[in-house]
């Protein structure tokens, strides 16, 4: 029965599987060579045994080299898988950060647009208020001028009448002058 750890294990990569198959072949070949070596040793002379032992040593050395290479490749595969995993995490974090920056920029633009709209509204209101004040001031000034003009006319007519009467007292006619 498989444990949870074995069930959740990732499928091995192609290179890793090839290495495992090669290792099994080498182990099988090694076992076959040992059996052959035992059989040959039983039937051959001492010099032939030395040759077989030398061949066996070469095979054992090649087997050790293969195991070392397999271990190195396995470690390299694991390291590359970890690097890919880290790069994926970095990519996700970068995308989240980019999304956050975009939303903050949009929010800032919305706030800026709201401030501009508010200031435009205030400017329009101020323009309307100043226009109203200007009209009221001009109307008031016009009314004051009218009243002052009427006052001057009345005062002028009074003065005219007064000087006309003074001239008449002296026996002069204002129209003759």
**Taking every pair of C-alpha atoms in the chain, what is the biggest distance, in angstroms?**
183
Global pTM reads: 0.40
pLDDT at 117: 95
Which tens digit of pLDDT belongs to each residue from 121-131?
999 999 999 99
Tell me the pLDDT tens digit for each residue of 31-56: 888 888 777 666 665 666 577 678 88
Residues 6 or more apart in contact with residue 174 via CB below 8 angstroms: 163, 164, 167, 168
pLDDT at 1 > cutoff 60: no
Least reliable range by pLDDT among 39-53, 66-80, 135-149: 39-53
Domain ranges across the chain = 13-169
Flag whether pLDDT at 7 surpasses 80: no
């Amino acid at each position: 029965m498989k444990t949870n750890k074995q069930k959740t294990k990732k499928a091995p990569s192609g290179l890793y599987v090839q290495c495992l198959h090669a290792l099994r072949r080498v182990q099988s070949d090694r076992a076959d060579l040992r059996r052959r070596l035992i059989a040959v040793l039983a039937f051959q002379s001492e010099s032939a045994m030395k040759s077989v032992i030398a061949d066996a040593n070469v095979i054992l050395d090649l087997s050790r080299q293969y195991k070392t290479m397999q271990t190195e490749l396995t470690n390299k595969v694991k390291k590359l898988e970890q690097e890919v995993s880290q790069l994926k995490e970095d990519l996700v974090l970068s995308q989240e950060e980019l999304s956050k920056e975009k939303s903050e920029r949009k929010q800032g633009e919305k706030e800026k647009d709201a401030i501009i709209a508010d200031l435009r509204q205030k400017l329009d209101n101020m323009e309307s208020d100043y226009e109203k004040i200007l009209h009221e001031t001009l109307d008031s000034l016009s009314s004051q001028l009218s009243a002052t003009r009427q006052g001057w006319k009345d005062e002028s007519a009074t003065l005219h009448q007064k000087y006309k009467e003074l001239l008449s007292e002296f026996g002069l006619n204002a129209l003759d002058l």
